[in-house]
Structure 1
């Protein structure tokens, strides 16, 4: 019994500093977590109480990275407490670098969380004060650029902690960049295409666009660094490489000032004498139509002699740019113009083929049907 007691006492005496160090590290972790939760909780509640919803969202997303950083520091002290009495020189040599790298990664993670919540909360917070609508495309561009900067800065700091020469890496990158550039020309072109889209802003998320050269059209759902996602009117997705926007024409119909009506009315050749009166009446009707934008011009003229009818051209613009409303206006206009044609005693033409016979053609006598042999015998 005395040996057991003596052994226990000697164990505690030999490892007392280690036990105290580990216990202290554990207390640091627990106390630090409690302080972080209490402090951030107070700040979040104060921000919510004063209408600082964006600040409250940022602080709420910082809690988890702060807690992890506190426990990383506690683990570092615990490892020191274990390694120092045992003279683990190798472990003692790498512990500071490991702690720095882990802290830098935690900072990067916290920064990326802040960027993510900023993309959703900050635009509404700012534009609501300005009385403007948020621009998702601008927010997305700023978010992507900020993420790249965070990763690049933290990456360089980690390399410096690990004693990598930044100058050597840059020199190697210059040589390797040439080879990679040739191998990844398409990727580079797509990146520059995305940059051009973000800077020139020929379209934005939510607008529908047309690429005539590729015979592709649809609503823009996402603008990535390599491709832009369109959703066709048939709900099929299209993934368009961004380099196409550097060299192709892009149409953005939602930005038009008005929708065009460009059609014709066909009248029979038999109603040629009524053509002038019909054209004048149709022109007056279009010029006084409440849904037609007269500032952009409207034209109604006899256009050409068609194969089957007299063609009257109708060329004008609706006041609305909404496709469905424009189609309804065009429908009403065509019906009204058709009634004008009827009121003048004319008819709308349909394709009719007329066969002209210059002289009577002799009709052959009908051949007598063949008779059965039994009938011939009679």
Structure 2
């Protein structure tokens, strides 16, 4: 089609005897570039106008599709315009560089399609995880894992198609990849271990972004910020980033306190031996207080019992669970509970015990120096009296 049009145009120009071949090529290429820029601008404005109109609708996918296709559409217009300009140049020139126009057009078209699909995947990820767009947003970690896997599949497929367009045999590439994969596997076994560790994390979901995790096997504790294919980023409580290879999570135990249903209050409170007669009523009042506390989950295990005769105290075991799992609020509730327990003990005339030791002596034994105290007192008194007489 381009060849027929150029031939017709050349014959018309030749009939008038106007311009040389170089001028003809330059004018036509300039006109094509200007036309391409105009069409690209119009296409961009049309898509932007459609985006604004579709924003008023409830359908979220039309907005996502238009947003993902706007820039690739403009790129496609430019790709087609440059292809036509290159074909015009090839008509007037025998340079080898213009012989690959068709191949570059195919590769560019694949690139535009991949760009659009990647934009759709990114937009879908934002929709599925947004609480503003979805009534029940999906788990970010799961959606992010599927998104990464989808992007990897699209990119690998596009690369194979491009190689085929460039004249390479896909079967040969795959065969080379199978043989070379063995050597790469041995050389990059740690990288592959981390990759599969990340895959297991996405599959089993022991934690997700935003969870507080810790490991009793390693010095790992903090909030998960990002789960990559090689590393997981954890923000420790002193605000330092901790980068943990994913392979580590396949060999260590991991606790996820973020998924606890309740927080536990486990305390031992001791009263004096002198208050043993008040023990039963103190225990009963503490249990009643916990059962009626607004922030204590009475459906969980609740234990308040006289525990043991300790060295300096009579111990009471207090074991219960709060309704909240928030760290700060939990400590506020725990403080309130402990203060109320102290008040109950005080209301019964008892006291919280502290480490003491009582020494019992037989009646016939006196402490050294005790018998001299009266003599010292009389000596002091006589000295005072003599002083008064001197005055």
Q: Report matched runs for 1:203-352 at 5 Å.
A: 203-352=207-356
Distance 1:239 1:356 in 2: 62
Residue 103 of structure 1 pairs with residue 109 of structure 2:
yes
Q: CA deviation at 1:353?
A: 4.6
1:93 aligns with 2:102: no
SS of 2:19's equivalent in the other structure is helix
Is the alpha carbon distance of 1:93 and 1:285 closer, same or farther for their aligned partners in structure 2, counting shifts above 3 Å? same
- After TM superposition, give the deviation of residue 57 of structure 1 in Å: 4.4
User: For 1:129 and 1:105, how far apart are their aligned partners in 2?
Assistant: 30
1:70 equivalenced with 2:74 (yes/no): no
Provide the rounded CA distance (Å) in 1 between the counterparts of 2:218 and 2:251.
12
CA RMSD of aligned residues (A): 2.9
Unaligned runs of 5+ in 2: 1-15, 370-391
- Dislocated runs of 4+, deviation >6 Å: 355-363
Query: 2:385 aligns to what?
Result: none
Q: Distance in 2 between matches of 1:86 and 1:290?
A: 88
Query: Unpaired segments of 5 or more residues in structure 1?
Result: 1-8, 364-378
Answer whether contact 1:210 1:216 (CA < 8 A) is retained.
Answer: yes
Q: Is the alpha carbon distance of 1:163 and 1:267 closer, same or farther for their aligned partners in structure 2, counting shifts above 3 Å?
A: same
TM-score when scaled to structure 2?
0.79
* CA distance 1:112–1:28, change in 2 (3 Å): same
Aligned length in residues: 352
Please identify, of 212-221 and 37-46, the stretch whose mean Cα deviation from structure 2 is larger. 37-46
1:62-108 Cα shifts (integer Å, max 9, x gaps):
222222222222222222222333322x2243222222223322332
**Which shows bigger deviation, 334-343 or 160-169?**
334-343
SS at match of 2:207: coil
In structure 2, what is the Cα distance between the partners aligned to 1:356 and 1:150? 87
TM-score for the superposition, normalised by structure 1: 0.82
1:71/1:308 CA distance change after superposition, 3 Å: same
1:124-139 mapped onto 2 (5 Å cutoff): 124=130, 131-139=135-143
Q: Give the whole-Å Cα distance in 1 for the aligned partners of 2:143 and 2:322.
A: 34
* Aligned counterpart for 1:43 among listed residues 28, 50, 57: 50
